[in-house]
C-alpha cells in the first residue's frame, strides 16, 4: 500500500482552542475511510489542513509526497466537498458542472449527467433558490464525478432524503469499484455508512482516538445482558467499556470475546449481542457527557433490549 | 448484514448457502467481488475477503482473467462441514431452550418426530 497522506505532529490552535492536537495520521491509497467524531471534535479542521485550506500551527503534512499548501500539482488531485460550499451569486447547477473540469482533470461529464438525473437536480434554477437537499446534491455530484485520487466528503448530505442518500452510497460503491481511489467520508450517520468503510478514524477533542481497520473494530466489543449477578460474575477481571443497570438486570459492553467465552456467557444465562460501529464510537467519545440519571439509564436499556 | 459476526464471514456463508441450495452449481461462475459489494452495499475489500476465505478452503477457485468458479466437490465438502457444526449450532441451543422451559427430553424427542413426519 502507498500512503497518500502522511501527517506528523499536526497541530492547529485557534486563540484558546486546540482544534487539532499532535495528530499522526497515514491515509493509504484506494481505501474508503470514515472520519468520525462529535461536533467540534476537529474533523473539518483536519480536512482543511490536509487540503491546504488552513495553515498548520506545527507539524508536517505530506499529500502525494508534497506539501499541499498552494501546490497545484497536489490540489488538482484532491476534491473536497464541504457541508457549506459557497457558489458565486447567480450561478446555476449547470455553471458548477461546466466549470468543474477546469479544476478536476479526471472529471467525467457523462457520469455527472447520470447523477444529475439520479438526484433529479434542476440545472437551470439559480443555486440560491435551491433547497438544502438540492444544494447538497450538487456537492455529492461534484465529488463523485471529479474522480479525484483523494476525495473528501465533509457531511455531504445535509437535507438529502433517505432515497437520495442511498443513491449516493450506491453510486459511490459502484464507481469506487471501477475507479479505485481514496475516499474520506466524514459523517454522523455512522450506522448508514458503516458497511462501506474499510478503515475508521475517530477524532475526539482534536486527537485521534481510534485508527483501525473497520472489520477488526466491528468485532472488538460485545454486549452481554442478564441478571446483575451473572453479568458481574462474567465481567469480573475484564475491562468494561460501558454498563447499565435496571433493577436486578444489567448490560455491559466488554472487549472482544472468543467463541469459548461466548459459549461460557450463554451457559451462564447471558445474552451476547453485537455492538454496532455507531455504539462503539458513541462509547469511545461520550466521555465528557455527564452520567445519565437512573431514569435515562433505564430508557436506553429498554432501547438496547428491543434493538 | 447483521452485526454479530464479521461481514466477510457472512458473505462467505451466503455463497456457501447458494452452493448448498444448488443456486450456484459446481463449475458455475460466481458473481464478481464488485457485484457482491454493490448488491450487499459493503466495501469491495470486505467482499473480496469473504470470497478469498472460500478460495483458501478450496470451495471456489480462480480462473485467470475470467473470474471465480465453484470447485467440483464443493457441495459435498460443505455438507460435511455443516453437518459437523449442526450439533453445536442447532441441537445444543434447542436442548438449552427446552430445559429452560421445562420440556423433558422425551417430550423434545416427540416434538422432533412430529415435525419430521409432518
Q: What is the pLDDT along chain A (307 residues), one digit of tens a residue?
A: 789 999 999 999 998 889 999 999 999 999 999 999 998 899 999 999 999 999 999 999 999 999 999 999 999 999 999 988 889 989 999 999 999 999 999 999 999 999 999 999 999 999 999 999 999 999 999 999 999 999 999 999 888 999 999 999 999 999 999 999 999 999 988 988 989 999 999 999 999 999 999 988 887 888 899 999 999 999 988 888 888 898 889 999 888 888 888 888 888 889 888 888 888 888 888 764 444 443 343 333 333 444 3
| Nearest by CB: B43 against A170, A178, A195 | A195
CA B15 from centroid of its chain's CA atoms: 7
3-state secondary structure of B5: coil
- C-alpha A299/C-alpha B76 separation (Å) is 49
Nearest residue in chain B measured CA to CA from A221:
B4
Phi, psi of B71 (to 5 degrees): -75, 150
Cβ pair B101, B89 in contact under 8 A: no
* Helical residues (DSSP H) of A146-287, grouped into ranges: 162-178, 190-193, 214-218, 228-235, 259-267, 277-285
Query: With an 8 Å Cβ cutoff, are B40 and A174 in contact?
Result: no
The pTM assigned to this predicted structure is 0.84
Reference A25, options A47, A44, A41, A40; nearest CA is A47
* Helical residues (DSSP H) of A70-156, grouped into ranges: 72-75, 93-103, 109-119, 132-145
Q: What residues pair up with A28 in beta bridges, in sequence order?
A: A3
Is B43 touching A (CB cutoff 8 A)? yes
CATH code at B7-72: 1.10.10.10
Q: What is the ipTM of this complex?
A: 0.75
Is B34 touching A (CB cutoff 8 A)? yes
- C-alpha A201/C-alpha A216 separation (Å) is 13
Q: What are the cell numbers at A114?
A: 447520470
Amino acid at each position: 500500500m502507498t500512503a497518500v497522506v502522511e501527517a506528523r505532529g499536526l497541530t492547529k490552535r485557534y486563540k484558546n482552542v486546540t482544534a487539532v492536537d499532535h495528530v499522526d495520521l497515514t491515509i493509504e491509497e484506494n481505501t474508503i475511510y470514515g472520519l468520525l467524531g462529535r461536533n467540534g471534535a476537529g474533523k473539518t479542521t483536519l480536512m482543511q489542513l490536509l487540503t491546504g485550506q488552513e495553515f498548520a500551527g506545527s507539524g508536517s503534512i505530506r499529500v502525494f509526497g508534497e506539501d499541499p499548501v498552494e501546490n497545484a500539482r497536489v490540489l488538482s488531485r484532491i476534491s473536497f466537498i464541504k457541508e457549506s460550499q459557497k457558489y458565486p451569486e447567480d450561478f446555476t447547477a449547470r455553471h458548477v458542472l461546466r466549470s468543474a473540469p477546469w479544476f478536476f482533470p479526471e472529471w467525467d461529464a457523462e457520469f455527472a449527467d447520470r447523477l444529475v438525473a439520479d438526484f433529479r437536480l434542476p440545472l437551470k434554477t439559480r443555486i440560491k433558490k435551491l433547497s438544502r437537499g438540492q444544494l447538497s446534491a450538487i456537492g455529492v455530484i461534484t465529488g463523485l464525478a471529479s474522480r479525484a485520487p483523494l476525495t473528501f466528503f465533509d457531511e455531504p448530505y445535509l437535507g438529502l432524503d433517505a432515497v437520495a442518500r442511498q443513491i449516493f452510497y450506491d453510486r459511490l460503491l459502484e464507481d469506487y469499484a471501477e475507479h479505485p481511489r481514496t475516499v474520506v467520508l466524514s459523517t454522523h450517520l455512522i450506522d448508514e455508512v458503516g458497511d462501506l468503510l474499510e478503515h475508521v478514524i475517530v477524532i475526539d477533542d482534536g486527537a485521534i482516538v481510534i485508527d483501525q481497520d473497520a472489520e477488526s473494530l466491528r468485532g472488538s466489543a460485545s454486549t452481554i445482558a442478564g441478571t446483575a449477578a451473572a453479568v458481574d460474575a462474567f465481567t469480573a477481571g475484564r475491562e468494561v467499556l460501558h454498563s447499565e443497570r435496571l433493577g436486578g438486570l444489567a448490560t455491559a459492553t466488554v472487549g472482544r470475546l472468543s467463541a469459548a467465552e461466548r459459549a461460557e456467557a450463554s451457559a451462564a444465562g447471558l445474552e451476547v449481542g453485537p455492538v454496532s460501529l455507531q455504539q462503539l464510537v458513541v462509547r469511545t467519545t461520550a466521555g465528557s457527557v455527564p452520567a445519565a440519571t437512573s431514569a435515562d439509564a433505564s430508557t436506553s436499556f429498554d432501547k438496547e433490549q428491543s434493538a | 448484514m447483521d452485526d454479530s459476526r464479521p461481514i466477510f464471514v457472512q458473505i462467505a456463508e451466503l455463497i456457501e448457502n447458494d452452493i448448498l441450495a444448488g443456486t450456484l452449481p459446481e463449475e458455475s461462475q460466481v458473481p464478481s467481488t464488485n457485484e457482491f459489494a454493490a448488491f450487499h452495499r459493503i466495501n469491495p475489500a470486505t467482499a473480496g475477503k469473504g470470497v478469498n476465505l472460500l478460495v483458501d478452503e478450496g470451495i471456489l477457485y480462480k480462473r485467470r482473467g475470467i473470474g471465480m468458479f465453484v470447485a467440483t466437490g464443493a457441495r459435498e465438502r460443505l455438507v460435511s462441514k455443516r453437518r459437523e457444526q449442526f450439533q453445536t449450532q442447532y441441537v445444543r441451543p434447542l436442548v438449552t431452550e427446552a430445559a429452560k422451559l421445562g420440556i423433558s427430553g422425551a417430550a423434545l424427542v416427540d416434538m422432533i418426530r412430529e415435525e419430521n413426519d409432518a
